[in-house]
Structure formats: C-alpha cells, structure tokens
Structure 1
Amino acid sequence: MRRVRLSPIGRIAAGLVAMTSMLVLVLDLVLGVFPAEGEVARQVRLRIVNALAMQLAAIMQRPQEQALLLRTMHDVVAVEPDLLSVGLRREDGSLLAATRRHAQDWKLPADGRSNLTHVMVDLQRNGVRWGRIEARFRPLASSTLPGWLAQRWVQFSLLLAGLGFVLYHLYLRRVLQHLDPSATIPERVKSAFDTLTEAVMIVDDRGRILMANQAFGALHPDAVRDHLGRPASGLPWLAAAMPHDAAQHAWARVMDSREAVTGEVLNIAQPDGGPPRKLVLNASPVQDGGGRVRGALVTFDDVTELDRMNVQLRTALTELEASRQEIEAKNRELTELATKDPMTGCFNRRAFFDAFDPIFARARAGGALCAIMTDIDHFKSFNDKYGHAVGDLVIKAVARTLGATLRPQDVLARYGGEEFCILLPELDLEQAWAVADRLRHQIETQAGQSIEGHGALRITSSFGVASIVQGAETPHQLLEQADGALYVAKRNGRNRAQKWNAGETALAGH
C-alpha cells in the first residue's frame, strides 16, 4: 500500500491542530468550557418530572378527574420527544395510572435512585409518602456510530480538526510564500496572489492598478476586464460604493497618511439586480528601502456569506427568545394549575397555607392580622332546586364578589366546597369586621344578579372574623377561631358577620 506523505506545510498544520486541540481540552478541564451534557440533561429531566408531579398532585385532589389524569400523562409524553413513558405508582408498588408500555418497560434502578433514563419523584399527602411519579427517558447517546457522531463534543472535535487543518494549511501556505526568496520573481508573485481567496489589488503612488489577483475579478462581472494601468478610482462598480471625492478613497488616504486602513465596509451592487456583495476593505502603504511611499496594497474580503449567516443567527436568536417566552408562559400556567382552584381562580388550600405561614410569622413579630371564614347560606338548596350547574355558578359569583374589592396584599382561598377563607394583614378586628360586613352586603345585593337565566337568585353568606391578638398561637388556631365565629353567625340567623368571642363560641359548643 502506498504510504501517504504530508507536505511540510501539512505536517506543520497538523501539529498546530494537535496543539490547539490540546489547549482546548486543557481549558475545558480547568475552566469547564463545555457543559457536561449528562448533568444538564439530568437537571432538565428532573424539572420536567417535578412539574408533572405538581400538576398530577393537583389533579389527584379531585378523584372524579381520573380521565384528566391519564390525558395529562399522555399529553406530556407526546410533547417531550425524549420521554418514553410515565407511570403513577402507589407506595405498595401497584400502578395507579400509566402510559402505554410503562408497566412492561419500567425497571427500577438497582440502587433505587433516579438516573438519566429512569427518574422518580415522590408524592406526599399530609407529610406522608403515598406514591411516586415514574418517568422513563431515552438514553442520551446511542451505541451506534451515528449516535456517537451526534454528540456535540465529537462534532466539535471533528470540526476543529478538519477546519483547523484547512485554515492552518491555507495560512501557512500564504505566509511561507512571502518568506520564499523566489517569490521576488514577478510571475511567481502574481501566481502566489492568485492562490489567495481574498481579492488583492496593488496600486502605485498615482492610484493606478499595477496588479490584481483572480479573486479580484470575481467581485463584479466588470472586474474581469483588463484593468492594469487604469486608476482604481475610475472603476465605476468600485467607485459607486466609495465616497465621490477620490482623495477620500482608502488607498489615497493610506499613501497620504502612511497609516493602514482596516475594516471599511463596501456594498458592491450587482448588475443582475441581485443582492449586493458585502466586502471588508483593508489597505496599507507600500514603501521602498528609503521609506518613501511607492503605492498601496489593498485587500477585499468578501463577507457576504458571513453577513447572511449573521442574519440567520439573529433570526434564530429571535426565535429562541420567542421559545423561551413560550416556555416561561407554560411554567406560569403550571404554577397556576398547582396553586389555583380551577373553578374560582382563588388559591387552593395548599397554596393558601404556603402563603399563610410567613404572613402569620410576620404578624407574630409585631403587626395586625385577621382571618375571615365565610360560606354560602343554604347552599345545598341551590343544588337541590336548580341542579349542580347552578350551584357551581353560585360559588363562582360569590368568589368574584369576594375578590373584587380586596387589597393586593389580602389572600383569598377556596377552603372547601362553598367555604372561603380570607387573610387581612395589617387590619385590626374592627376593621376586618367592617370588611366582612361590606362583603356580606355586596354578596346579598350583587352576587345573585350576576347569574343570568334563573331570575334574581337570593344569595347570602355568613362571616366569622378572628384576630391574632385574640390569642391564636398557630395559623390553624386563628382559622379555628374564625370558624367558631362563623358557626355563631349561622346559629344566630345567617347573613351576618360575627366577631370571635371565646364565651359565645364555648356556649355554641364549637
């Protein structure tokens, strides 16, 4: 077999590629230039399963929503391409719900802990674990050659080696040509310039073209004509992209100031009406042994394709930002599902107590706090007389009326069934009672009117009000006091707001 031998330039280029690769690897080891794909994927997958667990936990609070539970699991598997199956397993090991093939394909990791392909999140109720969410993902990398080649670090290494070798080879070939003494021969000089991908033009001290390489002729259809000896400023297609004053052209300024000009952008119009070619012009003076300026070396770097790719990159970044905003919207939607009661839009009990604890702690440290418990009077009669659909409308109407005039810092939650709870920070008992009585009046006069198609329904609510200064040591005690006051309000005829009083509550047996 014939042995392949690299030229000296090729061997130097290969050595430079090897050193560059080693430098990149060292930088990665020291600075962590490239993110660990496994850790990133693990975090993303864990966030997906945690978000799903929150959503399923909210659905599980409504036993009648079994179909919604399965549909949610199937929808998540359909949206996430790397997610193969999802299952909801009880603590005793039985599957409560699962997507297709989860029961057959799920294998518990040997150490019982989550890994990249099998992720588990525990579900708890009242602090006791009752089950877990199981999610099975695709492996990060396939064991096949295409799967190995699809990995980012492999692609980067191959691209670095291939592109680096080509670029180093081109660069060294150009540099060594300048160092080659035989390049002083005019024809060899021209041939050397013709090998360059950049367009090169040399002008004399009067701005006349002495030499231009083949790449220069590719800048414009008219550039292929014989232009040697002609003033560079007299080329119509080139002059159209530069200042009208020829003294301001780059090569003229270079010879006048003896300083190089770099980075001037030219847009060369094309005769066929196509998009202009974008060039970056660089120029430097050419001096003789005595230091006198004899001309200028001008290069034109065609960055049209690079500019097009930059436009594509900006477009991709815009689309990425839109995707990020969409993901944030989805996250907000998941948060809404996890914290809000779907019927009324009020906080659910879990979110309510999450907000209650810090508010109660601040009030205990020095501040006012009142709690209101309220429920709809004779709510069962609405269901019995008009049906559950109208009963739901009554609950929604009361929730809207309660939330319409509360302050931003107040907390409204649906406590259960037709019962609601309100937290009023920084209000004393008298102020909170006034709020409760105002809400009672608004429900009596407005809530029934907002339900169309059933006449003017008469809706009333009873309210119980308690303050932290009445001795509550915990949030639950404060709610119990408000609930006791609510009981007294109902016993005394309903449709009234009642402050908590230890004696009255004791007489009521509550």
Structure 2
Amino acid sequence: MMLVRLGPAERIAIGLAALTSLLVLLLDLLLGVFPPAGEPERMARVRLANTVSTQLAVLVQQPDPAPLLRRAMEQAVAADGELLSMAVRRIDGSLLAATEGHAHWVPPPGGGSSVTHLMVEVRRQAQPWGQVEMRFAPPAADWRWLQFMAGMWLAGGLLYALFLRRVLHHLDPGAAVPERVKHAFDTLTEAVMIVDRAGRIVMANRAFDGLHPQAAAADRLGKPASGLQWLVQAMPAEPHEHAWHRVMDSREASTGEVLAIPQPDGAPPRRLVLHATPVKDTRGAVRGALVTFDDVTELDRMNTELRAALGALEASRQEIEAKNRELTELATRDPLSGCFNRRALFAAFEPIFARALAARQHGDASGGGLCVVMADIDHFKSFNDRYGHAVGDLVIKAVARALGTTLRPQDILARYGGEEFCILLPGLDIDEARQVADRLRQQIERHAGEHIEGQGTLRITSSFGVASVAGGAASAQALLEQADAALYAAKKAGRNRVECAVLV
C-alpha cells in the first residue's frame, strides 16, 4: 500500500481543520449554536397544523360538519406525504371526524405535542370546543451535523492548505537555518546554494553572492532557484532539467556540469563547475538539494593562455623544422639540378656499400646487389659554346629530370660534378643495372631536348658506365672509379651508349 506523504502546509491545515471543528462543537454545547435534532421538522409541522386547524375551525361552525371535516382532512393527508392521519375530537373526548388510520393515534405523554403527534385547540364562540389531532411519520435521520463536520474537514482543510502555502511562500525560509550553519557556509571558498523540495532557495553563502552582480539580491530567499535568470540562462531551458531538480527526482548526485555565466558590461563570462546532491532526512525522504559552484574562471584563463603558448611553441617548432629541412635541402641538394650533391652522395653511399659488401661476404645473394651508374652529357661543352651557359644549365636540368623519372624510391640520383651524374642502384645485379641505364639513355635521347625553351628541339644524349659490387671493389670509392672507367669506355666507343665494368 503506497502512503501519501503530506507536506508541512497540508499537515498544518489538517490540524487547523480539526481544531476548528472542536471549537464549533464546544460552542454548540455551551451556547446551542445549532438547533436540536428534528426541530426544523417540528416547527414546519406546527405551522402546517395551525393552518389546517384554522380551516377546520371554520367548518366546525356548520350545522353538519362531520362530512365536510372528513373530506377536508383526507385532502390534507393526501397533499402531505408525511401526514399519516387526522381527526377532530370534541372536548368531551368523542371523535367528530377522522381519516383512515387514525386508530393508531397515541396521545403524547404529558398532554403536549411531539414531532409525530400534534394537537391544536379548536374554539367555538371564543370557548374551547375541541382539538385537531395530526399524526406524522417519524422524521428522517438528521445528518446535517455529520455533513457540516465533513465539509469543515474537506473545504476547511483545502482552504487552510492553500492559505498556508501562500503564507509559507512569503515567510523567510532562511530562518530555519541556524546562524552558526550560515557562518560555516560563508567561510567556504566555493559558492553554495541550498534549495527545498519545491526548488526554492533556502540558503546561499557569501561566495554565491560573488558569482554575478544580481546574485546578492536581498529577496532571493524563498523564491525558485529556476527564477535566477543570470544563472539558468547558462543551463537547460526546461526548469525540470536543472541540476537541483534532476538530483531530487533521481535521488543521485550530479557532478561536473560546466556553466558559462555571462557578466554585464562586456566582462568575460565566469566559468563554473556545478555539483548537486540530494538532501535527505533521517527516513531517507528527499527534502531538498545542496548545489555547489566551483569558480574555475582563473584556471580556465590560465589554461587558455597555456594552450596559446603551446600553440605558439608548436608553430615555432614547425617553423624550425621547416628551416632545418630547408637547410638540409640546401646542404644536400644541388641547386641547379635538384639532385643530391656530391657530399650527400658519399654520405649515403658509404653505409649502402658496407651493407652490400657484408651481405656478399656472408653469401646473402638477395641483399648483396649494388650497382653504380655514372652518366655524362655528350658534347656538353658544345651547348655552352653554341647557345651560352644559360642553355647549358637548362640542358643539365633536362637531363636530371629525365634521369629521375624512372628510378625507384630507394635509388639515389646525385650530380657528381659539371655535366656528370651518379646513380646508386641497391639490390640490382649488373644486368639489371645495365637495363636501367639503357632505359635512361633512351629517355634522355627522346625527351630531354623537348624541355629546352626557345631552342626548338635539341638533340641531347648521354653516355653511361655501370659497375657492380660483384666486380670486387673493396670500397665505395673503388666502385665509383670502376663505373667512371666504364663511362670513359662508353665515350671512347662513340658516346650515347652503355658500357659495364668487367666483373672479376
């Protein structure tokens, strides 16, 4: 069976209704405020009896009144459902006329009248002549007192409850909080607000006053916390979704809700972290909520500045890395051709050669391949002499572009000096390297001359010398010299061709 929990106003209203009912009962006992039970019916019947008796007194004066009296009395009995029978009796006790059923007439004790048996005197020529007897049905049970008490409890209780709700709303709810408790909350650095079950503010400490210029309003106590516009404008739109209502409905605490409270005069908003927890009585019933606000505005500002500093530091780091890449590019790249320069070539060549040589010494055929290709532009001096050094630079760029088009990512292309280029081909044997060199030779012959602007189509060719680590070179320099010797042989054999160093 579910019990209905009554609030303070309802409980007080029930008590006041009970006291009012008791007061009315005492007044009735002492002063007779309410008439006795059946008194209204008796008075109405007396008035009816007097009226009928007056009419019958007229008929009595007739010479033969009995038939007239009986007819008039029968009409009166038929007209009134509570009137059971009537009779006219002479002063000597004899009946002059009576209606059916009057045999049940029993004179009231003491010779008077009662609420069911009424007697009215009839006079003739100012002298007592007889009486009219009227027998009525017993009156219905009188429930007026019970109805009054029920109405007092229901209507009075409801009116008292409404009145008390209104009164308690305007009373100072903060008076219920002891001063020592208020002082204790005022010592806290975090803002605290306590609301009752209806969401009205019961207490707010001094730190709460500093959250907004409107927070320290003197009339805030007893008013709904959802009416604090400066606070709820940073919260969900529906009042039942506000943190203090949620925790009272769910009976579970809520933490970490971040709010941005706008400030007047263009001041930056205050950043708050809201925590709410239900307040329960000794029986476990939720009586309100405790709401705290951590002001993290300064911490948020410091975090923003830190993020800005980290962003600037990251941008500076990226700029430094870009500069380092640029410096590395300048230090390792030939500015004219865009290929690696000679120093970068030897820096990469030494470890590649060492790995290839070690692999061959251990019988690893798959990792022991390494070939060097030396390439030289045929009759390069004639381009400078005939077209000028500017065209000669364009020829070098065109050949470098042609050499780099079909190389693998692991291959290394470098400008060795002047019009001479060097290519490292890791993992290839002499035959594969020769095929690569011949493909590059054809690429230069067919397409390099197309990139010389303003000169039509120049015929550009190159000679290639190929050497492999399998030829027995003991060092990177020795391998280069073998490739250079093969290049010399290609030039001597007529240029625009590929020659390979002799394998040992």
Q: TM-score range by the shorter chain?
A: 0.5 to 0.7
Amino acid at match of 1:413: A
Instruction: Give 1:53's aligned residue.
Output: none
Amino acid at match of 1:363: A
Instruction: Give 1:94's aligned residue.
Output: none
Using structure 1 for the length normalisation, give the TM-score: 0.55
1:303 aligns with 2:296: yes
Shift of 1:486: 1.3
Shift of 1:233: 3.1
Question: Aligned partners of 1:412, 1:200: CA distance in 2, in Å?
Answer: 73
Instruction: Give 1:263's aligned residue.
Output: 256
Gaps of 5+ in 1: 1-183, 504-510
1:224 aligns with 2:222: no
Shift of 1:292: 7.1
Shift of 1:406: 1.4
1:352 aligns with 2:345: yes
Instruction: Give 2:321's aligned residue.
Output: 328
Where in structure 2 are the equivalents of 1:276-425 lying within 5 Å? 276-285=269-278, 295-364=288-357, 365=359, 366=365, 367-425=368-426
Q: CA RMSD in A?
A: 3.2
Instruction: Give 1:33's aligned residue.
Output: none
Question: Aligned partners of 2:285, 2:388: CA distance in 1, in Å?
Answer: 103
Shift of 1:221: 4.2
Question: Aligned partners of 1:228, 1:392: CA distance in 2, in Å?
Answer: 88
* Among candidates 203, 207, 212, match of residue 211 of structure 1: 203
Where in structure 2 are the equivalents of 1:111-122 lying within 5 Å? none
Question: Aligned partners of 1:434, 1:254: CA distance in 2, in Å?
Answer: 80
User: Kindly tell me: are residues 203 and 456 of structure 1, through their superposed partners in 2, closer, same or farther at Cα, counting changes over 3 Å?
Assistant: closer
Instruction: Give 2:496's aligned residue.
Output: 495
Amino acid at match of 1:211: M
Question: Aligned partners of 1:477, 1:341: CA distance in 2, in Å?
Answer: 24
Question: Aligned partners of 2:422, 2:408: CA distance in 1, in Å?
Answer: 15
Amino acid at match of 1:464: G
Instruction: Give 1:432's aligned residue.
Output: 433
SS in 2 for 1:224: coil
Question: Aligned partners of 1:206, 1:434: CA distance in 2, in Å?
Answer: 91
Contact 2:470 2:503 in 1 (8 A): no
User: Kindly tell me: are residues 239 and 401 of structure 1, through their superposed partners in 2, closer, same or farther at Cα, counting changes over 3 Å?
Assistant: closer
SS in 1 for 2:215: helix
Shift of 1:363: 2.8
CA deviation digits over 1:371-430, x for unaligned, max 9?
Answer: 111212222222233332222222222111111221212111111121111122232222
Question: Aligned partners of 1:459, 1:318: CA distance in 2, in Å?
Answer: 52
CA deviation digits over 1:150-190, x for unaligned, max 9?
Answer: xxxxxxxxxxxxxxxxxxxxxxxxxxxxxxxxxx9955654
User: Kindly tell me: are residues 449 and 295 of structure 1, through their superposed partners in 2, closer, same or farther at Cα, counting changes over 3 Å?
Assistant: closer
Using structure 2 for the length normalisation, give the TM-score: 0.56
1:447 aligns with 2:448: yes
Amino acid at match of 1:233: S
SS in 1 for 2:465: strand
User: Kindly tell me: are residues 231 and 501 of structure 1, through their superposed partners in 2, closer, same or farther at Cα, counting changes over 3 Å?
Assistant: closer
Instruction: Give 1:39's aligned residue.
Output: none
Amino acid at match of 2:414: A
Amino acid at match of 2:429: D
Question: Aligned partners of 1:500, 1:451: CA distance in 2, in Å?
Answer: 33
* Among candidates 171, 188, 191, match of residue 199 of structure 1: 191
Question: Aligned partners of 1:349, 1:215: CA distance in 2, in Å?
Answer: 73
What is the count of residue pairs matched by the alignment?
320
CA deviation digits over 1:457-507, x for unaligned, max 9?
Answer: 33222111222222223222222221111111111222221122389xxxx
Shift of 1:193: 4.3
Shift of 1:331: 1.5
Where in structure 2 are the equivalents of 1:133-152 lying within 5 Å? none
Question: Aligned partners of 2:503, 2:189: CA distance in 1, in Å?
Answer: 93
Question: Aligned partners of 2:325, 2:190: CA distance in 1, in Å?
Answer: 52
How many percent identity over aligned positions? 73
User: Kindly tell me: are residues 384 and 279 of structure 1, through their superposed partners in 2, closer, same or farther at Cα, counting changes over 3 Å?
Assistant: same
Contact 2:186 2:206 in 1 (8 A): yes
Instruction: Give 1:251's aligned residue.
Output: 244
User: Kindly tell me: are residues 204 and 474 of structure 1, through their superposed partners in 2, closer, same or farther at Cα, counting changes over 3 Å?
Assistant: same
SS in 2 for 1:230: coil
Question: Aligned partners of 1:241, 1:447: CA distance in 2, in Å?
Answer: 69
Shift of 1:446: 2.0
SS in 2 for 1:437: helix
Question: Aligned partners of 1:461, 1:259: CA distance in 2, in Å?
Answer: 84
User: Kindly tell me: are residues 289 and 495 of structure 1, through their superposed partners in 2, closer, same or farther at Cα, counting changes over 3 Å?
Assistant: closer
Amino acid at match of 1:420: F
Instruction: Give 1:470's aligned residue.
Output: 471
Shift of 1:288: 6.8
Amino acid at match of 1:501: V
User: Kindly tell me: are residues 230 and 393 of structure 1, through their superposed partners in 2, closer, same or farther at Cα, counting changes over 3 Å?
Assistant: same
User: Kindly tell me: are residues 214 and 438 of structure 1, through their superposed partners in 2, closer, same or farther at Cα, counting changes over 3 Å?
Assistant: same
Instruction: Give 2:113's aligned residue.
Output: none
Shift of 1:321: 2.2
User: Kindly tell me: are residues 301 and 416 of structure 1, through their superposed partners in 2, closer, same or farther at Cα, counting changes over 3 Å?
Assistant: same
User: Kindly tell me: are residues 289 and 416 of structure 1, through their superposed partners in 2, closer, same or farther at Cα, counting changes over 3 Å?
Assistant: same
Question: Aligned partners of 2:338, 2:210: CA distance in 1, in Å?
Answer: 67
Shift of 1:299: 2.2
Contact 2:472 2:503 in 1 (8 A): no
CA deviation digits over 1:317-336, x for unaligned, max 9?
Answer: 33332222222111211221
SS in 1 for 2:486: helix
Instruction: Give 1:40's aligned residue.
Output: none
